[in-house]
Copies of this chain bind each other. A is one copy, B any other.
Amino acid sequence: MAIVSVKRPGDGVGHRHRGGGHGIRRLATLGPLLLVLGWLSVSMAAAQDDPLASWNDGSTKQSIVAFVAAVTRAGGPEYVPPAERIAVFDNDGTLWAEHPMYFQMAFAFDRAKALALQHPEWKDRQPFKAVLENDMAALAAAGEKGVVELTMATHAGVTTAEFENIVRDWFASATHPRFKRPYQELVYRPMTELLTYLRANGFKTYIVSGGGIEFMRPFTEKAYGIPPEQVVGSSIHMKFEMRDGKPVLMRLAEVDFIDDGEGKPIGIHKFIGRRPIAAFGNSDGDLEMLQWTVAGDGRRLALLVHHTDAEREYAYDRSSSVGRLDRALDEAEQRGWTIVDMKRDWKAVFPNQ
C-alpha cells in the first residue's frame, strides 16, 4: 500500500542533504585545506540540518526548542529522565487534516456504500439513506444516534484481522475530495518533524485521539513513526471466539471507550500510566488532556494547532462543527500555552507541497 513515509525522497529532508553536499564539494576544491576545515563542514551541515525546518522562526518554534533544551539538559534544574519524557499528540487536526470531515467518517461512508449491496433495506433507512445519497443535512438530522449507528454498522461484525485489512485497503485507494491525494499523505510535515525531533531527544511519542484505535494503528507507524502499542484511541468491545480451531477477536457493536474530552486523561492514565510532560492538540476535545499534562510538577509544554490557513489547508475555530476550538483557545491564551498560527508558523503544511 502507498502509505507516505516522512523520509521519502524529494521532501525537505532530502533537499537539505543535497544542499549540504554542494557545500562539501566546494570545500573539496580547496585541496589541503580540507583536512583542517573538515570540522567546519560538519558544523555547517549540522546548522543547516534544522530538525524543525518546516517551522518559521518565531516565538512558537522557540517555545518548543526551549522546552526540549530545558528538560534534556543533564544536571539542569528542569531535567527530566528519558523514561518520563512522554509526549501525547491528538491526531485529527493535530497530526493530519480533519476537514471537510474526519477521515474516519469518510471511511465509514465508503464502507457503508460497499456494504449497501448486502443491505438493500439501507436505501430507505436513516442514517444509511443519507450516506448513500450524500445528503449531509439528513445525516446531521440523524444526530449522534445516527453517527453511532453508522459507525457500528461499518466498524463491527468482523474480526480484528479482517478489519485491519479493510482499513489498509481503504487507505490504499481512497483520496481526499479537495487535495486529491491519499488521506495518509495529508499529515502535517511540521508535526512529523516535531515527532522525529522529540524522539531524537529521548521522548516517547504517543497518539491520544478520539479516533478509533484500530482505524489508526494500520497507518501510524509509517506515517508518524509511532508503533501500534503507542496509539491510544476510542474502541468498541471485542469477543474472543474459536473459529475452525483458531482463536479470533470479533468486533462487537458496543462502545467500549470514548477517548475524547474528559476521556483523554483517563485513556492516558489507563494505557500509559504516567503523566505526559508535553501535550499537543487542536480542539476543545483536547482541553482536558492539556490540563492534565500541565498539572504535573516541573516544566511542561502544552500546544494547540490553530487552523488559520484557508489557502494551504483550512481556517476554522470557534464555530466549526469539526474540530471546534473555543474553550481551549480561551484557556490557552489565558494560561500562556503555545498556540501555532498555521499560516504564520508553518513554512509548508503537507509533504511535497
| A residues adjacent to B (C-beta < 8 A) | 83, 160, 204, 213-214, 217, 227-229, 231, 235, 238-240, 246-247, 249, 256, 262-263, 265-266, 269-274, 288, 291-292, 295
Contacts and interface: CB of A to CB of B under 8 A. Distances in A.
B274 A229 contact: yes
Contact of A266 (B213, B249, B263, B292): B249
Contact of A273 (B217, B238, B292): B217
Contacts of A271: 229, 271
* Number of copies of this chain that the complex holds: 2
A133 B262 CA distance: 41
Contacts of A235: 270
A82 to B, nearest CB: 11
B228 A273 contact: yes
Contacts of A247: 265, 288, 291-292, 295
Given A213-B270, A246-B295, A273-B213, A288 B240 contact: yes
27 contacts: A204-B229, A213-B270, A213-B273, A214-B273, A217-B273, A227-B274, A228-B272, A228-B273, A228-B274, A229-B271, A229-B272, A231-B273, A235-B270, A238-B266, A238-B269, A239-B262, A240-B266, A240-B288, A240-B292, A246-B295, A247-B288, A247-B291, A247-B292, A249-B265, A249-B266, A249-B269, A271-B271
Nearest to A83: B227
A298 to B, nearest CB: 15
Contacts of A291: 247
Given A239-B266, A249-B269, A271-B271, 5 more contacts: A83-B227, A238-B269, A240-B263, A240-B266, A247-B288
Contacts of A266: 238-240, 249
Contacts of A239: 262, 266
A160 B270 CA distance: 10
Contacts of A256: 270
Nearest to A290: B247
Contacts of A213: 270, 273
Contacts of A270: 213, 235, 238, 256
A192 B229 CA distance: 23
B295 A229 contact: no
A102 to B, nearest CB: 21
A291 B240 CA distance: 11
A256 B271 CA distance: 13
- Residue among A160, A217, A235, A263 with the highest chain B CB neighbour number at 10 A: A160
A235 B246 CA distance: 28
